[in-house]
Chains A and B, each alone.
Chain A
């Protein structure tokens, strides 16, 4: 009598089981949308082709024209002029002018954006150009203008205080629904300057659980799913309806150590710790892709990666010997000791990337094997900069992106010249610092880049563990999706459904 009733209700719901909008291309990713402001969530808006930047970058990090079709720098290197591409309109129909671009950049600069890191004295519109004047030479400026926090929105998108009230960009898709933290929907913008997109609409859903994302790929709910956990990646490889991809990123799994602490204050100790790590085994068993980092920079980072460097090796016996040579000898319980101090350290990490706590657990075993007692603390990512600042950090495991701006020198400047929250700690190499600053100001040749890499390799202010791979599952019903190593694009504006 009553069970049929519940079945009736269920069956009434089932006919609508087909997705609301089958014509839309659905993307599922772990990143939540915070607000309409590019400074907070511009990475998502950029990848969804809703918003664009003055400068673009290709999959090798080479800079390309974006909303600015050409740029030049004055002879004294203190004034840059970015010519605004003609014929571009915002989604509200207004034209992209140099005034509009300068307004957007000035709002970005007034917030916690990448532009506060550049020596900029003013940004203003000059005819068809945006003129940026500097207080000192800064060759990396165009790369900074490719970063998502400098995304250009229409003047109408900003309130009087600079807060963003509407997401009005210039991209190939026009926002129809923005509901932080989980939902963004956009439809094709027919007046897009680069030619209208092929798919009529794109949807973005933030799904924090990796298992759910993988199931969405498998069930066909999302045509593109990014950041798969290692187990799901392996499983989806045998599912017929999707292809899985993994692309090497300029992102490196790093073990940061406090070179000012008695445990790691000599390069011999840091090398000994490095010898204790079986990088190949870890990459195969935990990350499930062959990407052990034999040196800091991955092969895709041209100029920075140096084939000639001898890869960081694994030799537990040699590690124990090196620690013994440095005065660390096993105590009664096998834990190393020196002058009554036990080799006990805390390893900080965070669970936002599912492989980090797993990797930390494996490292704990490797280190225990050579006599180091490690306590893992998997917590909020901000504990790493917080403990760096108050000097209590000992070890930290994280994934660092060397392409926050497409030019890695921006990251090196923040992290290793001489120290940084996500880089070296208690390490100071004056020559290295000067070389990085010179490169940021003037640019640098490949020899200078590999010289910097060699210094990091020799002194090991941090230990590279693995080169990152971006993983994604792409439905076979679409083509044209791109997994961009610089995490700027999904290729949605050129993607299409196949019959």
Chain B
């Protein structure tokens, strides 16, 4: 029994990781007043470029790097639409999601001919941390994980520091509350926002990479399955705070892990039916969580509003 629970927690950490990476990135950008619902697409692109990079170089680290670059590029396109062109953030995000989907589906089949099923021969394997991983029970949970889990856990305190203990973070929060006042104070609104978007792009791209390079070894356009949108929900429920976001990501990762875990427990003819039904669990949990916790959520005052210097 303990073994089963340990495995459930270990799966939770794994399923939480893409959510955590994406939502912490989204948290930063939203603190600067930009609502980026396009991270679904950016995550997909990250998975795609990560897969391509790893497939052709046979090197997972290059795959990781290319997923980061892919994520940054797509998020910067979004940034160009909403910052430079000052377009509506929600529609721009919808456009980015559709474009990302189009890019992946078209170029995947342009690179790999119709009917072929390319796969990666290896995935990122868990890296046990010497000594710590040998601690009974929690060692296996916390200290025998893939590189993505470690990155996600390290990034939380770093970004918390960035947001609350640096001039950059203060400027970013000021912009999120009121960009025109921040501009009049001499803060370079566009520059600060672009930096936040680059950080987000890297994290969201990496989230896509985490799915493709450590969980599955194939690419499919359904691979992100609304994880970007769940990440945005996590930011709301985590009240735009890195610590809250960590909690939210673990909760939703748990829901996803549970749906996978229960499926493996049940044996017999009913198992296929149950596990198919359980696949709606993460989405259902998100909707219910938003119903309960999304009500009084108040984000940065200018979140989603357009800002132009004129």
Q: Do A and B bind each other?
A: no
| Residues of B participating in the A interface, judged by any CB pair closer than 8 Å | none
| Residues of A participating in the B interface, judged by any CB pair closer than 8 Å | none
